[in-house]
């Protein structure tokens, strides 16, 4: 009985000693593992979402409730990316979980071509070859003016104004006489005489047209063989009145402009292009024109007959587009939005959100190794929609941070202070 008791006590003592030895071994292993994670002493703790908040002891940030992360001296051994011993002073170490938290996304730099959308403000103007100035070749006094004003749509041969002048009586009489002469020679004269009479009539017609007599009135005189007491001025085309410079009872001088009429079935659109972009705009480039209040765009084409003109007021180049305007949606002096599709050759581009601009320099965060990002200065070229051309500082295939760069930049600036 005593022997069994002694054996029991010895067995319990042996089990206790083994358990104590195992506990001490586990405790030592845990310390060793913890030391393997990071043997450095944190300088301070900070919020991963708000890097400006720091604390001298661990805990949570009062602003967002996130767990504070330790910040170590960069000259000591690193825990993430420890194999990279040549990190720049502004390099940032961010693990995968933290990248998800701050919304950081990494992508490879690509070389590709595409189409750039160039948006411009344009102004509508009538085509110069479709603008007609109505004037007369002698002094006179206005008798009646048609009820048309600036902006009125008129038809060809529609009466605009009548005026009187004593200087036109003799040309009128000469034309009626030439008609009688042509009739007489046609009946009794020789072919030579008929031809001479016809030439005289045409000479009188040209003289009347030069003085401002309308073809409608000349045709009326041909039918009635009477001498009018006044001159009728009619519209030479279908179009819109863009200027009216006469009123009833007004006296005017020779060659004075009475009306200006424009055919708006085809118009011009002038738009200013920055000097950096004008080289991309080729003659014949197709664009779309948007008018306020209208959902359907209008097709336009960069005029190939003229080169861009320099605008000293805006220090830019002014291009001219042509557009058909059958419904007269586009009116002179109207402001419109112009969009051009400009193709560009394959070039190195990055998203605009990847660029960190400080005014004097532009940089991106390059992934040096997994979880280690360092800032690198780059030189930008053209802006291509939501992307930016990189002319120096990056190579195709390198991986950069394309979103969430704000927090990385804040962290990097704190490290180099």
Residue-wise DSSP of 119-146: EEEEEEEE-GGGEEEEE-SS-EEEEEE-
- 415 within 8 A of 74, measured Cβ to Cβ: yes
Burial class (CB in 10 A: 0-12, 13-18, 19+), 196: middle
Token digits of residue 337: 């939005």
**Cα dihedral 335, 341, 346, 351 sign:** positive
Using the predicted structure, report yes or no on whether residue 103 has a pLDDT greater than 60. yes
pLDDT in tens, 214-262: 999 999 999 999 888 889 999 999 999 999 999 988 999 888 999 999 9
Q: Which helix (H) or strand (E) holds 15?
A: helix 2-37
Q: Which stretch of 15-24, 174-183, 373-382, 407-416 has the lowest confidence by average pLDDT?
A: 15-24
pLDDT at residue 411, as a whole number: 63
Tell me the mean pLDDT in the region 38-50. 68
Using the predicted structure, report yes or no on whether residue 29 has a pLDDT greater than 80. no
Q: What is the pTM assigned to this prediction? A: 0.60
**Residue 292 to residue 331: CA distance in whole angstroms:** 12
**Residue 186 to residue 305: CA distance in whole angstroms:** 50
- CA angle (128, 299, 262) in 5-degree steps: 25
pLDDT in tens, 271-297: 999 887 888 888 889 999 999 888 899
pLDDT at residue 41, as a whole number: 73
Token digits of residue 44: 């301070």
pLDDT at residue 141, as a whole number: 92
Query: Is the model more confident about 90 or about 166?
Result: 166
Using the predicted structure, report yes or no on whether residue 319 has a pLDDT greater than 70. yes
pLDDT at residue 34, as a whole number: 34
**Residue 148 to residue 161: CA distance in whole angstroms:** 10
Write down the mean pLDDT value for the chain.
81
Determine the length of the chain.
417
Query: Is the model more confident about 99 or about 183?
Result: 183
**Residue 94: CB atoms within 10 Å:** 24
């Amino acid at each position: 009985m005593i022997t069994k008791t002694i054996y029991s006590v010895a067995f319990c003592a042996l089990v206790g000693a083994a358990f104590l030895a195992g506990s001490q071994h586990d405790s030592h292993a845990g310390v060793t593992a913890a030391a393997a994670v990071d043997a450095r002493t944190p300088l301070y703790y900070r919020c991963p979402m708000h890097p400006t908040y720091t604390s001298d002891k661990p805990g949570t940030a009062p602003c967002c409730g996130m767990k504070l992360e330790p910040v170590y001296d960069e000259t000591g051994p690193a825990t993430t990316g420890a194999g990279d011993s040549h990190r720049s002073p502004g390099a940032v170490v961010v693990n995968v979980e933290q990248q998800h938290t701050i919304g950081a996304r990494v992508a490879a730099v690509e070389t590709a071509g595409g189409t750039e959308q160039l948006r411009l403000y344009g102004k509508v103007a009538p085509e110069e070859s479709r603008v007609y100035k109505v004037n007369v070749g002698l002094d006179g006094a206005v008798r009646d003016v048609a009820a048309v004003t600036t902006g009125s749509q008129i038809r060809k041969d529609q009466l605009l104004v009548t005026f009187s002048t004593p200087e036109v009586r003799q040309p009128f009489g000469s034309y009626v006489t030439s008609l009688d002469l042509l009739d007489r020679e046609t009946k009794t004269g020789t072919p030579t005489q008929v031809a001479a009479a016809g030439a005289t009539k045409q000479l009188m017609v040209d003289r009347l047209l030069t003085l401002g007599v309308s073809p409608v009135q000349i045709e009326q005189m041909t039918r009635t063989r009477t001498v009018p007491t006044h001159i009728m001025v009619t519209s030479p085309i279908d179009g819109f009145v863009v200027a009216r410079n006469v009123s009833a009872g007004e006296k005017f001088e020779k060659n004075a402009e009475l009306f200006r009429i424009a055919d708006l079935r085809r118009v011009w659109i002038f738009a200013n292009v920055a000097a950096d972009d004008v080289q991309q705009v080729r003659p014949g480039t197709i664009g779309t024109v948007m008018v306020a209040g209208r959902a359907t765009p209008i097709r336009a084409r960069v005029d190939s007959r003229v080169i861009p003109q320099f605008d000293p007021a805006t220090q830019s180049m002014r291009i001219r587009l042509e557009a058909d305007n059958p419904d007269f949606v586009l009116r002179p002096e109207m402001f419109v939005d112009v969009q051009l599709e400009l193709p560009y050759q394959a070039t190195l581009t990055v998203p605009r959100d990847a660029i960190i601009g400080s005014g004097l320099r532009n940089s991106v965060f390059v992934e040096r190794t997994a979880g280690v990002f360092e800032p690198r200065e780059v030189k930008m070229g053209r802006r291509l929609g939501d992307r930016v051309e990189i002319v120096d500082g990056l190579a195709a295939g390198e991986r950069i941070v394309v979103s969430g760069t704000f927090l990385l930049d804040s962290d990097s600036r704190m490290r180099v202070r």
